[in-house]
Amino acid sequence: MKDITLNSYLDVLQINESYFQEANSFSKDKIDIAIKSYKKNIAVAEKILKDNGVNISEIKSKAKLIAKSFEKEIKLGYKNNIPPLKIGEKISKKVGIEIKKSIKSIKKSITTDIGNSIVLLIGLIFISMIAVALVAPIFFLLGIPKATMIFSVLIAAPLLEEFFKRMAIFEGYPWIYTGIFAGFEFFQYVIVAAIGGLSMGPFIIMRLAGVIMHFMSTTIQKYYYDKSKNDNESPEQEVFNKKGINGYYLAVLLHFTWNLMALLGQDTFKSLLG
């Protein structure tokens, strides 16, 4: 009976003697390549999940518990001569329950990150308004009130917006925050342009390019942040280390250059230069 049960398990798993013979013919090099490829795929998946604020250690611990549970079910089924299909159904139900729990957990994590990103965006808007309000009277007294807009676009925006992206990176939700911020800015400009009667086609294309720029600057900062983590630097050093901060500087430079190119076409900027 045990032999019959074992053969049933092998049939369900679609394993026969030829598979074992083929597996035995694999060289150690091929096996090593397969293992390395598997580990690399796992590492990529872990990075994507971590970037979106998913708790990897919690997933790993749950996976181990599930694997042990499956092992116990299979051994018990084999011992009691339970048909493998019934064991498979039981395991499938358990998998479904665990997947639902995991999805619920991930949704909760993403919802929290969205909330935190919105709070961060509100903080950015508030601080930007304060910065502009502080310098506006100075430019007014100097007789160049229009320079307030230049300060806002070329200095305040690159420094503050990239700094808040850096904060989102350290908190673990860079892409969610960048998406919310870039989306908010995009619709803000589009609404103003529509009210002003501008040609919407070219304007929308230009603003979509702006969205890409924001993700590029976040990518630059994230790259240097990850690089500093790989160097095994402590969190205290991480905030101020050279590599991490260089990513911020490069992002600010990209942002500044982008805004400068936009301003070069503005009559206000041309009048200040002239």
Q: Distance between CA atoms of 169 and 243, rounded to whole angstroms?
A: 14
- The rounded average pLDDT for each run of 10 residues, N- to C-terminus, in the chain (274 residues) is 45 43 54 65 68 65 67 73 70 65 65 88 90 85 84 91 92 92 91 80 85 95 84 52 80 94 66 46
Which pLDDT score is estimated for 103?
60
Task: Give the pLDDT confidence of 140-184 residue by residue, as tens digits.
Answer: 888 888 888 888 889 999 999 999 999 999 888 999 999 999 999
The residue ranges of DSSP E strands in the chain, in sequence order, are none
Q: Distance between CA atoms of 195 and 207, rounded to whole angstroms?
A: 16
Cα 183 to chain center, whole Å? 16
Tell me the CA end-to-end span of the chain in Å, nearest whole number. Answer: 96
Q: pTM for this structure?
A: 0.62
Q: Distance between CA atoms of 1 and 81, rounded to whole angstroms?
A: 7
Q: Distance between CA atoms of 170 and 177, rounded to whole angstroms?
A: 12
How many C-beta atoms lie closer than 10 Å to residue 74's C-beta? 16
Q: Among candidates 83, 78, 87, which has minimal Cα distance to 2? A: 78
